[in-house]
Structure 1
Amino acid sequence: MEFDFLKPIDSDFLEKLSSQQLGSKIVFHTKDQFPDLNKINIAVIGVLENRGSDTAFSEVDIMAIRKELYSMFPGNWDASIADLGDILAGDTITDTYFALRKVVSNLIKNKIIPIVIGGSQDLTYALYRAYDELEQMVNLVSIDSKFDFGKENEETSSNSYLTKIIIDEPNNLFNYCNIGYQTYYNSQEEIDLVEKLFFDGYRLGEISNNIALAEPVFRDADIVSLDLNSVKSSDSGNFSIFTPNGFNGKEICSLSRYAGISDKVSMFGIFNHNNSVQESVLVAQIIWYFIEGFHYRSNEYPFGSRENYIKYIVPSEEEVLVFYKSDKTDRWWIEIPFISNGNNKLKRNTLLPCSYDEYIGACNQELPERWWKAQRKNSI
């Protein structure tokens, strides 16, 4: 069974918690019991694997994160949460990928959202492959200072896993978006490749100046992979790998909340934890905000009907654009028309999340870049 890969956790530290703290409201996988997954919305999993990291620590220890997280007080949440324990490093890194893939695939098929704490970021590849059995296209969002491309024959690592995702069959990746890349960490060839593949990238400065730019991106994501090295060291407490620039604590928690509030995000991974107690505090708060966001999901498109939306038709010189605005949350979408060419990845007209500013731009005859890229990608 898939869950045999999970090692139960020692929950002795919970005895010191009050009944009001989060740890007292969570079901744990212990040596005596395994949670009833029929009653669970969110599952926390640790993955003690870091062989894909160029700067691997001797071991991965996430108990400090658990202690910080479960000592916090929950919001007014009704989500049922379980901690399923840890996946240990296998004999080879491929074994770890296999175990992680099997566990998370089973969870998402049962509509349970895994929060995966690692370990090196190449574990994102195993999260992506977990969708193979669902036979659906996947949108991946990475919060990262780098694009993590590598050479085609290079071993998979936290700095090259994206190449393996793009090349390996079956190719289920529809879109990739990087949030927070720093140009001096990425070659011009990598930046050009992102454009050539019609992927999306937002520089750190763009998001820091207007963090709301990221909200539509998360609204269309299936997997969110967060590299903790995207947070500056003065806020993360990670001085083993010194990062002078990056997101601050408030920004990274805001991004995590956007991921949680997205109706479509079905998996959240946090990677490259450096085992420090200081960084554990931040990771716990990131997870708290994701769960907080989940509580405020509104079950809009693609899970709800567009019939209750306000439809706006914007004619331009080249196209007639169709926008929809939710009367529930005031969020915006733009319609991507179905193109029948035998290869298209979209099987019908679909809605792409966008912003109010993009609607205003379209009214001023400016085609939204995300609409243009989706069109080109669908016609390939």
Structure 2
Amino acid sequence: MEFDFLSPVDHKIIQYINELSSQHLGSKVAFHTDKDFPDINKLKIAIIGVLENRGAVNYLDEEINLDAIRKELYNLFPGNWQSSIGDLGDILPGNTIEDTFFALQKVASKLIKKGIIPIIIGGSQDLTYPLYRAYDNLEQMVNLVSIDSKFDFGKQEDGISAKSYLSKIILEEPNNLFNFSNIGYQTYFNSQEEIDLIEKLYFDAYRLGDICNNIELAEPTFRDADIVSIDLNAVTSSYSGNLIAFTPNGFDGKEICSLSRYSGISDKVSSFGIFNHNARKEESVLVAQIIWYFIEGVNYRSNEYPFSTKENYLKYIVPLETEELIFYKSNKTGRWWIEINFFAGQHNKLKKNTLLPCSHEEYLAACNNEIPERWWKAQRKNSI
């Protein structure tokens, strides 16, 4: 029933794909057409367009068209991929924006429960809210990572929009959000009150310059994410081709694709969204490549977390003055985790998740008697 909300991929796209060679990605994808719907039980990744932009900051009553993205994406060549992909078509705008949210929440929830990763192409970034709500019935806390130049708190009286959806996620019950992380914020776009609020809530935020100087700094954050939401306005216009909402500073094409691959390669990420697409062909080229790198990452997942056994990990114990920190290093990938001792309380859904991704640099800092900030914030959130 949930999939009744989906309209088929346009027949012109199907015709275009049929004219491609058998080596192109388009020939490897199962499509929702007028006559057929993919076998959900055979999919690992599902691509869905959501043609809703009434929550956009500068909303213009223009119809969203994702045909250019699909053409660019399916004209690419896949890597040595094993994961099966389906394009389930589009969710059309409802009578109200809440109707669209309801449809996306139902579709995404069904897919996530089945272990299928939805790739959502929007539409305005407030679609992150129903994507978050899709986890309501999964009995788990959710970690959200947003690649964005702004925090999108907004004001309560503004209602929900692309610039205020995060406030609704934080304040509304049931509250399943454990952690929010921003990757690439630009200080001059965010008030000091918003920056202070990020600290007060023990959330994580990384400035654009810090990530550009060392993009590997973001990897542990994605490793702990359930949802990744990309605002395309975080990419500089000279790389995205978006000259409508001109952005002189932001990530370049290589950096945003690297972040997308980090998202895909994370064993934990179970939904992925790309929002605020301006529907111009120039930006479609980049969006297609962002999606390609995410799928590439999914196909190279190491499936080493959650740990079924710790036999393939080296354990490091670091005694500090007030704490004893325990680190694990994977023999397979060389990645690091730090142990968190959660206790029953507000976040008792997290009791089984006692390992937090971290970096080798954080282990070295602990050896110099410095408590990792991510460990400290996680402990503080658990004690609230």
Q: Is the 8 A contact 1:151 1:160 kept in 2?
A: yes
Cα distance in 2, alignment partners of residues 342 and 165 from structure 1: 17
Give the structure 2 partner of residue 293 of structure 1: 297
Q: Is the 8 A contact 1:174 1:345 kept in 2?
A: no
Q: 1:116 aligns with which of 120, 125, 132?
A: 120
Displacement of 1:304 in angstroms is 3.8
Cα distance in 1, alignment partners of residues 164 and 115 from structure 2: 30
Q: 1:33 is paired with a residue of what secondary structure?
A: coil
Instruction: Report the count of equivalent residues.
Output: 380
Q: Which amino acid aligns with 1:162?
A: L
- 5+ long unaligned stretches in structure 1: none
Cα distance in 2, alignment partners of residues 133 and 14 from structure 1: 37
- 5+ long unaligned stretches in structure 2: none
Displacement of 1:300 in angstroms is 1.1
Q: Is the 8 A contact 2:45 2:86 kept in 1?
A: yes
RMSD, matched Cα:
1.1
Q: Is the 8 A contact 1:344 1:379 kept in 2?
A: no
Cα distance in 2, alignment partners of residues 304 and 76 from structure 1: 27
Displacement of 1:364 in angstroms is 0.3
Q: 2:23 aligns with which of 20, 23, 32?
A: 20
Q: 2:42 aligns with which of 23, 39, 43?
A: 39
Q: Which amino acid aligns with 1:159?
A: K
Q: Is the 8 A contact 2:146 2:183 kept in 1?
A: yes
Query: After TM superposition, which residue ranges in structure 1, 4 or more long, deviate above 3 angstroms?
Result: 340-345
Map 1:1-380 → 2, pairs under 5 A: 1-9=1-9, 10=11, 11-57=14-60, 58-302=62-306, 304-340=308-344, 344=348, 346-348=350-352, 350-380=354-384
Q: 1:247 is paired with a residue of what secondary structure?
A: coil
Displacement of 1:318 in angstroms is 1.1
Cα distance in 2, alignment partners of residues 349 and 294 from structure 1: 22
Cα distance in 1, alignment partners of residues 197 and 208 from structure 2: 19
Give the direction of change, closer, same or farther, for the CA distance of 1:210–1:166 in structure 2 (3 Å limit). Answer: same
Q: Encode CA deviations 1:105-125: one digit per residue, 9 max, x unaligned.
A: 000000000000000000000
Q: Which amino acid aligns with 1:68?
A: E
Give the structure-2-normalised TM-score.
0.97
Cα distance in 1, alignment partners of residues 158 and 346 from structure 2: 33
Identity of aligned residues (%): 72
Q: Which amino acid aligns with 2:375?
A: W
Q: Is the 8 A contact 1:337 1:348 kept in 2?
A: no
Q: Which amino acid aligns with 1:47?
A: V
Displacement of 1:14 in angstroms is 1.1
Q: Encode CA deviations 1:142-186: one digit per residue, 9 max, x unaligned.
A: 000000002223210000000000011000000000000000000
Q: Which amino acid aligns with 2:324?
A: V
